[in-house]
C-alpha cells in the first residue's frame, strides 16, 4: 500500500516528491477508486485551476471580499455565509443521527463528531499586518542600500519606494486586490468554507490516517455532497460550499429570496476590492514615508565645499566638508491628496499592479494605460477609470495553476519544444492581448 509521509519539515526535493505521490494516490484510499485520480464528484483539488480562488474572485475574475452583513453564526463564535450555515446544520443533524444509530463509528479519532472548528476569517487585519511588515522591510531596504539621505520629503521618497516595489511586488504584493489572491490568505475569508477539525495542513499522514482511511469519511463526503458541499482534497476536514451545486440551490434561494446560484451570491454578498485600492495605496505610501520620517527625523550629510581656484578660475572641492542637516517631517493623506493630482496616484497604482500581477506591460503601454485612466477621471469619474484599469490587470488566467496555464503547458509538451519560461511568456502575451480594451 502507498504510504503518505509528506510534511513541511522535509527538504524541498523530498517534499515535492511526497506531495506528488499524495496528489496522485490519496483518493485511491476511498471505496471505488482503484487508480490515480485527481478529483471525484465529492472531493476537489483546490490547488488546481481557478478553484484555488473560489470565493475570492467574481465571475469576471475581479477580486472580492464577503460583506459581513451576510454572515451568520453557527451558535458559537464561528461564522459563515447564512446559507452555508443552514446547509451545514442539516448535514450535522443527519451525521449526529448516524452516530447515534451506529451507522458511523463513535470510536473514530477525529470524525466522532461534526462541529465547525474553524470558519470565516476576517481578512482586513491580515492585510494591515502585511502592510505594516512592508514598512519594516522598506526601512531595512533604505538602510541597507544607503538611500536614507535621498529621502528629504514625500516627493523624494516616492522614487525610492517605487524601486522597492519593483524588487518585491511580485512575491509580496502591495494592493488589497492582489494580496487577497495570494496563498497567504486562507479560503476561509470567503465565508463559504468550514473546517471540522484542527490539523496540520502540511501533514499528509494525518490527512490519510484520520480521513481517507476512516470509514466515517466515506459517509461524511457523500452526506456533504448531498447538501451542496465538496471537500478539499488537500485539507479533507474542510467543507466548501459549491455555489453551482443543485443541492445547494435551495439554501441559496431561501437566503436571498430569488433563484440565481453563484451569480446572486457573488453579486449580492460580496464586494469588489478595487474601489479601495487607490485610497489604500495613498494611505500605505504616506504611512511608510512617515515610518522613515519618525525613525530618522534628522540626518546629517557631509558635503564637499565648492571653491574657485585663483589660478585657473575652475571650481574645485575642498578637502573639508560642511555639514548639512536634513529634516524629515511626517505628512498626512489629506495633504498629499491636495498636493498631488489624481493622475499621479493612478500612475503609481498602475505601475504597482503591473509589477505585482506579473503582467509585465512595457513602458509605452503603461504610459498609455495611465493617460487613458487619467482622461477617464477628468472626463467621467474615478469609477470609470478604475474599471478600465482593472480590465488590464484582473485576469487570473496567467497565474501558474490556472486552466489556461495548464492547457498552454500541455500544448508545449505535445510539440516537444519550449522551456517553462517560454510557457510563462506565451501565457503572459496571450492574456495581455485578451485584456485590450477600447474605452
Which pLDDT tens digit goes with each residue over 335-382? Answer: 999 999 999 999 999 999 999 988 888 999 999 999 999 999 999 999
Query: What Å distances lie between residue 71 and 227, 373, 378, CA to CA?
Result: 19, 35, 38
Q: Are 51 and 43 in contact (CB under 8 A)?
A: no
Rounded to an integer, what distance in angstroms lies between the CA atom of residue 169 and that of residue 178? 10
277's grid cell: 485600492
Joined together, the cell numbers standing for residue 396 give 487570473
Give the C-alpha separation, 347 to 388, whole Å.
13
The three-state secondary structure class of 21 is: helix
Q: Are strands 229-232 and 270-272 parallel, antiparallel or unpaired?
A: unpaired
Cα separation of 18 and 30, whole Å? Answer: 19
Supply the pTM of this predicted model. 0.80
Alpha-carbon distances, residue 120 vs 65, 163, 437 (angstroms): 11, 36, 36
C-alpha–C-alpha distance, residues 9 and 12, integer Å: 9
Alpha-carbon distances of 368 from 374, 388, 408, 437, rounded to whole Å: 10, 12, 29, 12
Set of cell numbers at residue 145: 542600500
Please state, in angstroms and rounded to a whole number, the distance separating the CA atoms of residues 352 and 173. Answer: 8
CB-CB contact of 272 with 60 (8 Å): no
CATH number for 12-122+184-260 (one of 3.40.50, 1.20.950, 1.20.120, 3.30.1380): it is: 3.30.1380
Crossing angle of helices 124-144 and 154-168, in 10° steps, is 100
- Supply the DSSP symbol for 79: E
Angle between helix 403-415 and helix 420-434 axes, rounded to 10 deg: 130
Predicted local confidence at residue 49, as pLDDT: 58
Show Cβ contacts of residue 166 under 8 Å, excluding neighbours closer than 6 positions: 355
C-alpha cell at 175: 494592493
Reading the block at residue 364, the C-alpha cell is 509605452
Please, what's the b/e burial string for 242-272 (b: 16 or more CB within 10 A of its CB; e: otherwise)? bbebeebbebbeebbeeebbbebbbeebbeb
User: In which residue are the cell numbers 497567504 written?
Assistant: 184
Residues of the chain with pLDDT under 70: 1, 49-50, 299-324, 395-439
Q: Among the residues of 145-276, which ranges form H helices?
A: 154-168, 176-179, 204-207, 215-225, 249-256, 262-268
Give pLDDT, residue 398: 43
C-alpha cell of residue 88: 451545514
Residues 348, 158: Cα–Cα separation, whole Å: 9
DSSP result, 91-107: HHHHHHHHHHHTSS-TT
What is the residue extent of each domain of the chain? 12-122+184-260, 124-179+275-393, 396-434
Q: Are the C-beta atoms of 164 and 145 separated by less than 8 Å?
A: no
Residue range 27-55, pLDDT digits in tens: 999 988 989 888 999 999 988 756 778 88
Amino acid at each position: 500500500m502507498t504510504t503518505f509521509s509528506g510534511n513541511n519539515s522535509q527538504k524541498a526535493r523530498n517534499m515535492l516528491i511526497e506531495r506528488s505521490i499524495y496528489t496522485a494516490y490519496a483518493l485511491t484510499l476511498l471505496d471505488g477508486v482503484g487508480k490515480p485520480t485527481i478529483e471525484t464528484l465529492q472531493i476537489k483539488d483546490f490547488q488546481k485551476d481557478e478553484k484555488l480562488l473560489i470565493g475570492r474572485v467574481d465571475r469576471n475574475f475581479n477580486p472580492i471580499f464577503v460583506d459581513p452583513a451576510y454572515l451568520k453564526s453557527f451558535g458559537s463564535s464561528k461564522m459563515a455565509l447564512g446559507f452555508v450555515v443552514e446547509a451545514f446544520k442539516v448535514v450535522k443533524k443527519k451525521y449526529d443521527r448516524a452516530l447515534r444509530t451506529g451507522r458511523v463509528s463513535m470510536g473514530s479519532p477525529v470524525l466522532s463528531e461534526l462541529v465547525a472548528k474553524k470558519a470565516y476569517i476576517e481578512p482586513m487585519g491580515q492585510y494591515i499586518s502585511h502592510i505594516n511588515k512592508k514598512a519594516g522591510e522598506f526601512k531595512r531596504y533604505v538602510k541597507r542600500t544607503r538611500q536614507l539621505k535621498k529621502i528629504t520629503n514625500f516627493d523624494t521618497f516616492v522614487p525610492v519606494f517605487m524601486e522597492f516595489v519593483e524588487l518585491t511586488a511580485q512575491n509580496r504584493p502591495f494592493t488589497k486586490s492582489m494580496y487577497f489572491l495570494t496563498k497567504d490568505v486562507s479560503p476561509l475569508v470567503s465565508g463559504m468554507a468550514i473546517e471540522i477539525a484542527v490539523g496540520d495542513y502540511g501533514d499528509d499522514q494525518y490527512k490519510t490516517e484520520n480521513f481517507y482511511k476512516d470509514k466515517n469519511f466515506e459517509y461524511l463526503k457523500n452526506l456533504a455532497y448531498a447538501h451542496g458541499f465538496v471537500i478539499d482534497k488537500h485539507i479533507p476536514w474542510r467543507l466548501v460550499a459549491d455555489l453551482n451545486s443543485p443541492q445547494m440551490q435551495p439554501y441559496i434561494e431561501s437566503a436571498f429570496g430569488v433563484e440565481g446560484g453563484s451569480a446572486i451570491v457573488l453579486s449580492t454578498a460580496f464586494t469588489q476590492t478595487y474601489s479601495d485600492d487607490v485610497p489604500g495605496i495613498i494611505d500605505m505610501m504616506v504611512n511608510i514615508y512617515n515610518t522613515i520620517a519618525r525613525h530618522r527625523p534628522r540626518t546629517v550629510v557631509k558635503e564637499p565645499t565648492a571653491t574657485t581656484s585663483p589660478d585657473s578660475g575652475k571650481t574645485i572641492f575642498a578637502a573639508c566638508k560642511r555639514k548639512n542637516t536634513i529634516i524629515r517631517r511626517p505628512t498626512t493623506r489629506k495633504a498629499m491628496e491636495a498636493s498631488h493630482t489624481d493622475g499621479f496616484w493612478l500612475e503609481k497604482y498602475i505601475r504597482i499592479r503591473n509589477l505585482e500581477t506579473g503582467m509585465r506591460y512595457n513602458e509605452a503601454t503603461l504610459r498609455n494605460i495611465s493617460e487613458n485612466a487619467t482622461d477617464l477621471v477628468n472626463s467621467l469619474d474615478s469609477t470609470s477609470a478604475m474599471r478600465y484599469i482593472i480590465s488590464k490587470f484582473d485576469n487570473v488566467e496567467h497565474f501558474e495553476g490556472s486552466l489556461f496555464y495548464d492547457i498552454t503547458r500541455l500544448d508545449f509538451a505535445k510539440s516537444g519544444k519550449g522551456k517553462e519560461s517560454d510557457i510563462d511568456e506565451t501565457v503572459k502575451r496571450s492574456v495581455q492581448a485578451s485584456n485590450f480594451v477600447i474605452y
